[in-house]
A and B are shown apart, each in its own frame.
Chain A
């Protein structure tokens, strides 16, 4: 133990030095921010100016494509994983459950090795871009240079917080009353709270005017005040405070890591979205006129940020689950490792599911914005050359939904008492299948002349109906509801007879009421933009219906009929979804788009209220038996691989869609691609490239995880030698979820 204390002091000193460094970097950043708001004028290069480099064998486009996609995949992992590591860590700290803390630590080990790989691919990508597309990169750099400088410094910050987070894990535990800790934690807390503070200050300026010019200075002042207040709070003699908690300090590093990752992603997204939906370009003068900020704040930036953010979480979860699946398969039967990795795989899959459920909605918003930006882009995507890509996407998403449900059903094997819910499996599978078949049916069918004649035209009179947006929205909502139902059944698998609701604590009753009310308000908020006079009656009826269902569900819960209440909610939502799906065929396109929001909001309402009811009614219910982690058929682990591979492949496909959408433009409708690679390749060719990228990614990830595993083995052996104890046995995760 002595060794640790020495380390402790050294690390404390190192931390203080790094904090000072970060402060300096912060100052520098402010200077660069000033640079960002400086307007520039950059002329567009003409055809004669365009210079391209050559790449042997595969050509310049495929070279950049492969490297960029690999960079993106590793980047997504590195940005997505910290978020749920943090949540798991906080969960562990809040429930004082060491298993969660260990799990988060294990995830971090995977993260740190993947981090440097991301950086390597980023470097290769920059070199490739400069070498192969010099003129174009030069143009982009003249617009985005300030943001690139910010990017580099943020990257610095990201690596710092990342390594502090990872290497500080064992050290930053318990509380310390030393002045250094208090100052450090206070500073970190202020940094972590600052964005919230700024946001809070921005709200009044929305109503009273003044804008950022006022918010910024005021926020600096307030941050100073906060700093002093927290410091005083922490230094009060004899009182314990959260700023003395070193675990909190560690969590702060985690939050900072997420901040940095998120901003990094948003900055690089702005470069990519500028190519799809440029802003600030004056075609008459052939110039970019404006500030870097103008260029960053382009039409599709925010939708892409949101879409990628959610997808990163899902992707990270699925890759982690695949890692756990691999470890599961390679550990001995009935061993504690097997139990641990089963649990880890379950958590990874759970995270992936949480990401997967809102992903279609974010994607839908992005698609709508692309359509809104430019009709040509929208039609190329949905009706033109890329329309078949979305059928392929449907196959992938169908595989994801079916796989995720199947994993949950197989997972019931390890839960004593879950046999009671087996009977629902065929029904849910049936619903999913029908939805998947509809989801898969394309609008334009591949049909030979003979078949087309027999159909009486290019459209199938019956299946053609399934090809349009109304049907797709309906089935995706139903699939989400079914997946959610699977999860609820899984969750209650080993719960015995529920306690009478009267015995539940007052707090849980109040929570239920508040959540139900919140759900109703939230739904109204989501639907309110559609409230134009023509639709008002229908909307009011819908609101009445949904509110009634929620109230009835809550009333049933109070009368010990909680599961019936949940059933009622599901039925309500399914009814709303199907009703608006069918009604959508009889209204104008513009109204139909609004209907999808009604469908989504009813599903969200159910997700929110039914989850709360579930938590409340099953509180304190006796267990039929503990979950037998590790007792799951091996094919379940293969499902986790299927999910990870499908996610990775889907990411590659969507990367191709985002980039290929511009067809023969570098910057859509502004700067043409004059290289020999200007054509849009066939879908089959793109699938080949994507497949190769996915295989390379999987091999690299395997290697990286193998390294991480080897490192942990080495560490465990070292510990064992130091303490003269047998090498530590990994604990299986507890059943408390």
Chain B
């Protein structure tokens, strides 16, 4: 049996909406409103492309509309009037509810990896992050294991409560926070970053985030108040060692020379 193009389009739309609003939430979690809107609009646009991609299907699709607008039959005339009244009303109703808004606060723009400053003032001491391609304790290779062990202790005394035993951001307190504590095992967090970046985030915590990361009520404390420089490097070494990620090392082309790459 051959489906009419209208039925096909409608089915496609319904299936898409079903996937976006039922299947995805059922399998994982609901899609935020804005993205959902984008998905539906894209689907509508694609359906338009589909029906109009050949003259034949476009004719088939548009002829009832043309009939509705132009035909002078006994059926179409009243129908036309009804449509002309109902459609604007529906639009008006939709836009008025949309413009009225709800009681929920608007969505926030979150920037996951904000830009680090070029230097930080750590406990009164100026550290230029660019000049620290790798953690300074890595130079002390003989004692690296010791440092990592120390980092482990520091982690369990301080970080464990939120970031968890498995370093997956699922500690005891994690459920209470928005944003959730970072998952170090994921490929999108510390695996993408350099050690000096981690140092900055740990030392300055949530309050030290730049403006583009707001609104941000990150509960991450300012660890420079509690930890020494060396301790922070140790805990960083522990994180990389335990997750098995390699810190990103920037091949800095600035300064003199450059080019030739």
Contact = CB atoms under 8 A, between A and B. Distances in A.
- The answer to whether A and B interact is yes
A633 B261 CA distance: 49
Given A279-B257, A384-B212, A445-B35, A458 B180 contact: yes
Given A383-B112, A384-B113, A445-B32, A372 B254 contact: no
Interface in A364-410: 369, 372-376, 379-380, 382-385, 387-388, 398, 402, 406, 409-410
A450 B33 CA distance: 11
Interface in B6-65: 24, 27-35, 38-39, 42-43, 45-46, 49-50, 52-55, 58
Contacts of B114: 379, 383-384
Contacts of A299: 253-254, 258-259, 261
A426 interface: yes
B207 interface: no
Contacts of B246: 588, 590
A460 B32 contact: yes
Contacts of A590: 246, 248
14 contacts: A279-B254, A375-B116, A376-B130, A406-B49, A429-B46, A429-B50, A433-B46, A443-B112, A444-B112, A445-B34, A445-B35, A449-B108, A451-B107, A456-B29
Contacts of A450: 104
A140 B179 CA distance: 45
Nearest 6 pairs of A and B residues by beta carbon? A383-B113, A279-B258, A297-B259, A462-B28, A447-B32, A384-B115
B258 A444 contact: no
Contacts of B76: none
Interface stretch (A353-361, A434-442, A496-504, A692-700): A434-442
Contacts of A630: none
Contacts of A462: 24, 27-29
B29 A454 contact: yes
B250 interface: yes
A442 B246 CA distance: 25
User: DSSP majority for the B interface?
Assistant: loop
Nearest to B216: A458
A460 B31 contact: yes
B178 A452 contact: yes
A375 B250 contact: yes
Contacts of B255: 279, 281
A379 B116 contact: yes
B150 interface: no
A147 B42 CA distance: 48
Contacts of A281: 255-256
Interface size class of B (residues with CB under 8 A): 35 or more
Interface stretch (B67-75, B91-99, B184-192): B184-192
A446 B34 contact: yes
A379 B107 contact: no
B80 interface: no
B183 to A, nearest CB: 9
Contacts of B111: 383-385, 387, 444
Nearest to A391: B38
Contact of B35 (A409, A446, A461): A446
B123 to A, nearest CB: 22
Contacts, number: 206
Given A376-B118, A376-B130, 19 more contacts: A279-B257, A280-B257, A281-B255, A373-B254, A374-B250, A383-B111, A406-B53, A410-B53, A429-B46, A429-B53, A433-B43, A443-B112, A444-B109, A448-B107, A455-B29, A457-B178, A460-B28, A463-B28, A635-B52
Interface string B239-261: 00000011010111111111111
Nearest to A371: B250
Contacts of A278: 254
B191 A589 contact: yes
Contacts of B191: 588-589
Interface size class of A (residues with CB under 8 A): 35 or more
B80 to A, nearest CB: 25
Interface of A: 277-282, 289-290, 294, 297-299, 301-302, 369, 372-376, 379-380, 382-385, 387-388, 398, 402, 406, 409-410, 412-413, 422, 425-426, 429, 432-433, 436-437, 440-458, 460-463, 468, 585-590, 592, 633, 635, 669
B106 interface: yes
Contacts of B55: 413, 633
B172 interface: no
B234 to A, nearest CB: 22
B197 interface: yes
A433 to B, nearest CB: 5
Interface in B178-216: 178-180, 187-188, 191-192, 194, 197, 212
A589 to B, nearest CB: 5
A448 B115 CA distance: 23
B53 A447 contact: no
B17 to A, nearest CB: 13
B124 interface: no
A278 B253 CA distance: 9
A425 B53 contact: yes
B59 to A, nearest CB: 10
Contacts of B39: 437
A394 to B, nearest CB: 10
A457 B179 CA distance: 6
A425 B57 CA distance: 12
Given A406-B53, A669-B118, A441 B35 contact: yes
A380 B115 contact: yes
Nearest to B181: A457
Nearest to B38: A440
A587 B191 CA distance: 10
A446 B32 contact: yes
Nearest to B116: A376
A587 B178 CA distance: 28
Given A372-B253, A463-B31, A589-B192, A301 B259 contact: yes
Contacts of B88: none
A341 B197 CA distance: 56
B61 to A, nearest CB: 13
Nearest to B258: A279
A290 B259 CA distance: 13
A279 B255 CA distance: 6
B77 interface: no
Nearest to A446: B107
A444 B111 CA distance: 6
A380 B27 CA distance: 34
B261 A379 contact: no
Given A448-B32, A454-B30, A589-B248, A279 B53 contact: no
Given A375-B197, A437-B42, A669-B118, A279 B256 contact: yes
Nearest to B133: A375
A448 B108 contact: yes
A299 B35 CA distance: 37
> Most A CB atoms within 10 A — which of B110, B197, B254?
B254
Contacts of B52: 410, 633, 635
Interface in B111-150: 111-116, 118, 130
A372 B32 contact: no
Contacts of A432: 46
Nearest to A470: B187
A437 B252 CA distance: 35
A669 B252 CA distance: 13
Contacts of A446: 32, 34-35, 107-109
A534 to B, nearest CB: 12
A426 B33 CA distance: 28
